[in-house]
Structure 1
Amino acid sequence: MNTPAPTRDEPAEHARFAAHLRDLARATGPEETAVVARVLGDPDRTMARSAVLRHLDRRATDLHPGPEFEAWADAMTGVVGGDPFLTRRLLEWSLIRVVVLERPWRPGDLLESSDWLQLKAAATSNAEVVQLLAERGRTKRIRRTARLNRAWPGDR
């Protein structure tokens, strides 16, 4: 990692964050887990977690519909396993995958998930998921997104 020197107006952690994002964007294949682990070792835990979260979301967005997602998610879980928030995000990406691919899922898992996941699921094409979230989504925004996705008359 080539961490740029901070400028007079930029704190050191901002320069490290930008460098972490660049390193993570380039990391694929076998070196990806090592880069994620190195970033998580940054002394600023909040900043490191934020950089890794962006990376997980970016990679999962690309991978979740395909067969390579499961191996990738397992590898990432092995690296972030000590962080409950990042582990949960990976689990929620696994639930999104199941929903999008219309594989069996449990309503309780979806209803107990984060607002982030419910909002993402409300925008899918899975009619059963959309109906559940239109009726029982945690927030008004989630319920409205699901209703609009269903294009229910009178809800626009």
Structure 2
Amino acid sequence: MNIDDILQNPDEHVRFAAYLDELGHVADPDEIELVGRVLADPDRTMARSAVLRHLDRRAAGLCREPAYEGWAQAMAQATIDHPFLAQRLREWSLFRAVTLEAPWQQDDLLASSNWLQLKTAAGTNTEAVEVLAAAGRTKRIRNTARTSLDQGSKS
């Protein structure tokens, strides 16, 4: 099925599933164009949701790879008019920095979403986990960070 056929389907659930399938199989050189086409769907909420799932899947797969930087720059351009998607991409880049123990700012982590704080709290970067154990936004984040610290000290 191609993107034009998908757009003809009036059922947003069918389009959502078809977009996820197309995004899951797109060749790297065609990815940014396809993301743009999906984001042009009249149901903007559904389209952003499909692209968010794709972005999360791709970022998780590329997070530790050198190719992440180029991909993230291209994806930033594709999502520039979609603040939530652009924010998620920035948070993936922060998560990458924390994970790879590259330079990152404590204030950026503390200002990040619950999603990123919880994901980071469950990680292995002791400095980041300690920051979240002390000052994470929610009780769940602080508890997850404390549990990560406890498990890390037992290993």
Question: Fold match, TM over 0.5?
Answer: yes
C-alpha distance in structure 2 between counterparts of 1:104 and 1:4, whole Å:
43
Contact 1:122 1:145 in 2 (8 A): yes
- Unmatched 5+ stretches in structure 2: none
> Match for 1:88: what amino acid?
Q
After TM superposition, the structure 1 = structure 2 runs for residues 106-117 of structure 1, keeping only pairs within 5 Å, are 106-117=105-116
Structure 1: where are the runs of 5+ without partners?
none
CA contact 1:53–1:86 (8 Å) conserved in 2: yes
2 CA distance for matches of 1:84 and 1:5? 27
Displacement of 1:29 in angstroms is 1.0
Identity of aligned residues (%): 56
> Which residue of structure 2 aligns with residue 148 of structure 1?
147
Amino acid at match of 1:96: F
- The 8 Å contact of residues 3 and 19 in structure 1, kept in 2 or not, is answered as yes
**1:3 to partner: Cα distance:** 3.0
Which digits, 9 at most, give the CA deviation of each residue in 1:57-109, with x for residues without a partner? 00000001110001000000111110110000000000000000001111100
Amino acid at match of 1:76: M
Which residue in the other structure is 2:66 paired with?
67
Q: How does 1:60-99 map to 2 (within 5 A)?
A: 60-99=59-98
TM value normalised by structure 2: 0.91
SS in 2 for 1:102: coil
Structure in which a larger fraction of residues adopt helix: 2
Question: Deviation digits for residues 5-48 of structure 1, max 9, x if unmatched?
Answer: 86xxxx71111111111111011311000110010000000000
Report the 3-state secondary structure (helix = DSSP H, G, I; strand = E; otherwise coil) of the residue aligned with 2:103. coil
Q: How many residues end up aligned between the 2 structures?
A: 148
Aligned partner of 2:125 in structure 1 is 126
Alpha carbons of structure 1 residues 32 and 44: separation in structure 2 relative to 1, 3 Å: same
The one-letter code sitting in structure 1 at the alignment partner of 2:22 is D
Residue of structure 2 equivalent to 1:3: 6
CA–CA separation in structure 1 for the residues paired with 2:83 and 2:7:
30
- 8 Å contact from structure 2 (residues 133, 145) kept in 1: yes
* RMSD over aligned Cα atoms: 1.5
Q: Is the 8 A contact 1:4 1:15 kept in 2?
A: no
- SS of the residue corresponding to residue 17 of structure 2 reads helix
- Structure 1 stretches of at least 4 aligned residues deviating more than 4 Å after TM superposition: none
Distance in 2 (alpha carbons) for counterparts of 1:149 and 1:29: 35
